[in-house]
Structure 1
Amino acid sequence: MKKSAWLPAVIAPVVVAGAVAAPMIANAANDPIAGTNPTAADVIASIAKSSDAQYSGKLTQSSDLGLPELPTGSGGSSLEGDASDVLGLLTSSHTARVYVDGASKQRVQLTQQLAEQDLVRNGSEVWTWDSKERTATHVTLPSDSAKGPQDGTTTPTDIAEQAVDAITPTTTVSKPTEVSVAGHDAWQITLTPKSSGTLVGTVRLAVDQQTGLPLRATIQAAGQDDPAVQVGFTSLDYGAPAARLFDFTPPSNAKVTEKDLSDAEHDAHAKGDHARGAHDGDEPTFTGEGWGTIAELPAGTVDQSSLGDEASGLLGQLTKAVDGGRAVQTSLVSVYLTDDGRVLAGAVPVSSLVAAAK
Structure 2
Amino acid sequence: MKKSAWLPAVIAPVVVAGAVAAPMIANAAADPVAGSDPSAADVLASVAASRDAQYSGKLSQTSDLGLPELPAGSGGSSLQGDASDALGLLTASHTARVYVDGPDKQRFQLTQQLAEQDVVRNGSDVWTWDSAERAAVHVTLPDGSGGTSTGAPSAGTTTPAEVADRAIAAVTPSTRVSDPTAVRVAGHAAWQVTLTPRSSDTLVGTVRLAVDQQTGLPLRVTVTAAGQDDPAFQVGFTSLDYGAPAARLFDFTPPTGADVTTKDLSDADRHRSGGHGDTGDRGAEPTVTGSGWDTVVELPAGGTARSSEDGEASALLDQLTKPVDGGRAVQTSLVSVYLTDDGRVLTGAVPVSALVAAAK
**TM tier relative to shorter chain:** 0.7 to 0.9
Aligned equivalent of 2:182, options 171, 175, 178: 178
Q: Contact (CA 8 Å) 1:286, 1:294: kept in 2 or not? A: yes
Whether 2:75 is the aligned partner of 1:64: answer no
Deviations 1:180-200, CA, capped at 9 Å, x for gaps: 000000000010000100001
Q: Which amino acid aligns with 2:193?
A: I
Whether 2:327 is the aligned partner of 1:309: answer no
* Alignment-derived partner of residue 105 in structure 1: 105
* Alignment-derived partner of residue 276 in structure 1: none
Compared CA separation, residues 309 and 333, structure 1 to 2 (3 A): same
Whether 2:136 is the aligned partner of 1:136: answer yes
User: TM-score, normalization: structure 1?
Assistant: 0.87
Compared CA separation, residues 160 and 87, structure 1 to 2 (3 A): same
Correspondences of 1:107-256 after superposition (within 5 Å): 107-147=107-147, 149=150, 150-152=152-154, 153-256=157-260
**Which segments of 5 or more consecutive residues in structure 1 lack a partner in the other structure?**
30-34, 272-278
Q: Contact (CA 8 Å) 1:302, 1:337: kept in 2 or not? A: no
Q: Which amino acid aligns with 2:97?
A: R
Q: Which amino acid aligns with 1:24?
A: A
Once the two structures are TM-superposed, the CA of residue 312 in structure 1 deviates from its matched residue by 1.8
Q: Which amino acid aligns with 1:351?
A: S
Q: Contact (CA 8 Å) 1:8, 1:154: kept in 2 or not? A: no
* Alignment-derived partner of residue 323 in structure 1: 325
Q: Which amino acid aligns with 2:207?
A: V
Instruction: Give the distance between the partners of 2:289 and 2:355, measured in 1 at CA.
Output: 10
Once structures 1 and 2 are overlaid, which stretch shifts more, 6-15 or 290-299? 6-15
Instruction: Give the distance between the partners of 2:131 and 2:296, measured in 1 at CA.
Output: 37
Higher relative contact order (CA 8 A, sep 6+): 2
| Structure 1 vs Structure 2 CA RMSD | 2.8
**Which segments of 5 or more consecutive residues in structure 2 lack a partner in the other structure?**
1-6, 274-280
Instruction: Give the distance between the partners of 1:142 and 1:295, measured in 2 at CA.
Output: 26
Report SS of the residue matched to 1:62. Answer: strand
Report SS of the residue matched to 2:45. Answer: helix
User: TM-score, normalization: structure 2?
Assistant: 0.86
Once structures 1 and 2 are overlaid, which stretch shifts more, 3-12 or 110-119? 3-12
Report SS of the residue matched to 1:351. Answer: helix
* Alignment-derived partner of residue 274 in structure 1: none
Q: Contact (CA 8 Å) 1:187, 1:208: kept in 2 or not? A: yes
Deviations 1:193-250, CA, capped at 9 Å, x for gaps: 0010000101110000000000001111101121111110000001111111111111
* Alignment-derived partner of residue 38 in structure 1: 38
Once the two structures are TM-superposed, the CA of residue 264 in structure 1 deviates from its matched residue by 2.6
Instruction: Give the distance between the partners of 1:175 and 1:72, measured in 2 at CA.
Output: 46
* Alignment-derived partner of residue 264 in structure 1: 268
* Alignment-derived partner of residue 85 in structure 1: 85
Percent identity over the alignment?
A: 70
* Alignment-derived partner of residue 287 in structure 2: 285
Q: Contact (CA 8 Å) 2:326, 2:340: kept in 1 or not? A: yes
Once the two structures are TM-superposed, the CA of residue 166 in structure 1 deviates from its matched residue by 4.9
Instruction: Give the distance between the partners of 1:81 and 1:51, measured in 2 at CA.
Output: 32
Instruction: Give the distance between the partners of 1:68 and 1:257, measured in 2 at CA.
Output: 35
Instruction: Give the distance between the partners of 1:280 and 1:83, measured in 2 at CA.
Output: 17
* Alignment-derived partner of residue 275 in structure 1: none
Once structures 1 and 2 are overlaid, which stretch shifts more, 178-187 or 312-321? 312-321
Once structures 1 and 2 are overlaid, which stretch shifts more, 4-13 or 202-211? 4-13
Aligned equivalent of 2:29, options 7, 19, 24: 24
Once structures 1 and 2 are overlaid, which stretch shifts more, 246-255 or 234-243? 246-255
Q: Contact (CA 8 Å) 2:27, 2:176: kept in 1 or not? A: no
Compared CA separation, residues 255 and 28, structure 1 to 2 (3 A): farther
Q: Contact (CA 8 Å) 1:12, 1:162: kept in 2 or not? A: no
Report SS of the residue matched to 1:77. Answer: coil
